[in-house]
A and B are shown apart, each in its own frame.
Chain A
Amino acid sequence: MQNLDVISINLWQILISLCNLFLLFLILKKFLYKPVKKMMAQRQAALDEQYEKAAESERAAEMDRKAWAEKIQGAKAEADRLVKTAEARADRRSEQIVAKAKDEADGILRDAQSQAVLEKKKAKAEIKREIVDVSAALTEKILRREISEDDHRAILDSVLSEIGEENDGYQ
């Protein structure tokens, strides 16, 4: 066995070594870089897909949220409207009731007053007639012959009406 010199140059060896490096380049490119890059591209694609999905679901959620907010807004408005109409109706109703009650009370009062006036008139007429009867009887007994009964009654009536007017004035 021989050894090469420490410094020796051989063209064929150089050429082979050159080819060796090129060969290793091809090997690395084909067996390391290609599969790894392919895998990375796949991963990137998967990642992009995930992001796409996430963005989409976020959009959907946002839309849902908006829809719900709108719905809630609508429901609130509806509730407000309902409450308002109910209030209005109740107000109207209460007013009606109060008005009716007032009317009734007024009616009752009026009836009572008119009744009272009627009663008073009746009572007055009664009293008048009794007074007239009494005074007629009295005067008849006192002045039996001098005055006819009719004259007597006319005089007394006039007197009594005077009295009555005075009494009305007191009332």
Chain B
Amino acid sequence: MEKKRWFVIIDALLLFFAAIPILTGIVLRVLFTPASEGIEITGALIFTTVKMPWGELPITEAQINSWLVILSVFWLCLYLTHGITAKGGSRRQYLCEWVVEKTESLVQENMGEYFSGFAPFIAAVMALSAFSSLLSLFGLFPPTSDLNIVAGWAILVFLLITFYKCKCGPLQYLKSFTEPVAFLTPLNVISEIATPVSMAFRHYGNILSGSIISVLIAAALGGLSSLLLGWLPGIFGEIPFLQIGLPAVLSVYFDVFSGFLQAFIFAMLTMLYVAGGFPAELYAKKQVKKSQKKIKIKK
């Protein structure tokens, strides 16, 4: 009995810790966002600016919110894996098993056996992207609509792509730019650089455009409402009745659907680019040669 009670208490604590970051974000938002008049489309709020060796580092809402997401996911992980047993049975165990198995099978299908260790990374990309976008449901600034955040992820993916392209040696990597014909080299370089740029801008643009469209439509509906229903007496004339309903439906699309979709697309592209850039056959040949050499040395 005592043990069971402790189990429940720890569960509740973990969930509470997972919820705290979100609440903190909301509190920060309420405290620091200045009351705005009319339509205003801006980037993230800057809390403070830190002096750094090269340039300045503004601590923005986007940064804070992405940290909050990471914290939340961390506590959620602890909650999900709390008390899992080989026997199974609890619902959260099914959930975390489902997550692990799904991501692993996805990675296996899209990247192959060699990259099976990529499952946690892909899960991290998906979780960070999706939860960041979903923060807008709480009225928080979604970090994914800040270019810097998404650019950071894209650059990490670019580093991974380059790392796996260099698996057969830097010379082989440089040589791969001259294929299939030498004069296409500049184009190849451009397309290489375009990969992270396009990934970053795709994600950022989709989420930001979603919020911009939402804001524009809400504003337009407010104007229409005051135009059509402004004749109502007293306070009724000031309530934007037309803003009820439609923005919620749009939010389901722009915040929820688009958030998940962009997370999935970003993860998918990561998998395809990393696995596609890896010269698998060449690498396999090299491994075979290496093992042969080893055998010779042993002999």
Contacting pair A32 B80 (CB below 8 A)? yes
- Complex partner residue of A24 from B33, B62, B87, B124, CB under 8 angstroms: B124
1/0 per residue, CB under 8 A from B, across A1-45: the answer is: 111111111111111111111111101110111011101101101
Interface-centre pick from A7, A8, A13 (highest chain B CB count, 10 A):
A13
Q: Give the residues from 61 to 83 in chain B that come closer than 8 angstroms, CB to CB, to chain A.
A: 62-63, 66-67, 70, 73-74, 77-78, 80-81
Tell me the bound Cα distance from A10 to B57 in angstroms.
7
A-B contact pairs, 25 of them (CB 8 A): A1-B46, A4-B44, A4-B58, A4-B62, A6-B42, A7-B147, A10-B58, A12-B52, A12-B56, A12-B57, A13-B62, A13-B63, A14-B151, A18-B153, A19-B152, A25-B121, A28-B120, A28-B124, A29-B120, A32-B77, A32-B96, A33-B119, A39-B84, A43-B86, A43-B88
B255 within 8 A of A: no
Q: Which residues of A are found within 8 Å of B127, using beta-carbon distances?
A: 24, 28
Which A residues from 76 to 131 make CB contacts under 8 A with B?
A: none
Closest to B157 in A: A21
Interface of B is mostly: helix
Interface residues of B, count at CB 8 A: 56
CB of B124 within 8 A of CB of A25, answer yes
Interface residues in A, total, Cβ within 8 A: 40
Closest A residue to B150 using CB positions: A17
Of the candidates A6, A13, A31, A33, which one forms a contact with B74 in the assembled complex, judged by CB atoms under 8 Å apart? A31
Check A46 for interface membership: any CB of B closer than 8 A: yes
Q: Is B74 within 8 A of A20, CB to CB? A: no
Contact partner, A3, options B46, B54, B147, Cβ 8 Å: B46
Name B residues whose Cβ lies closer than 8 Å to a Cβ of A.
32-34, 41-47, 52, 54-58, 60, 62-63, 66-67, 70, 73-74, 77-78, 80-81, 84-88, 96-97, 99-100, 119-121, 123-125, 127-128, 146-153, 155-156, 208
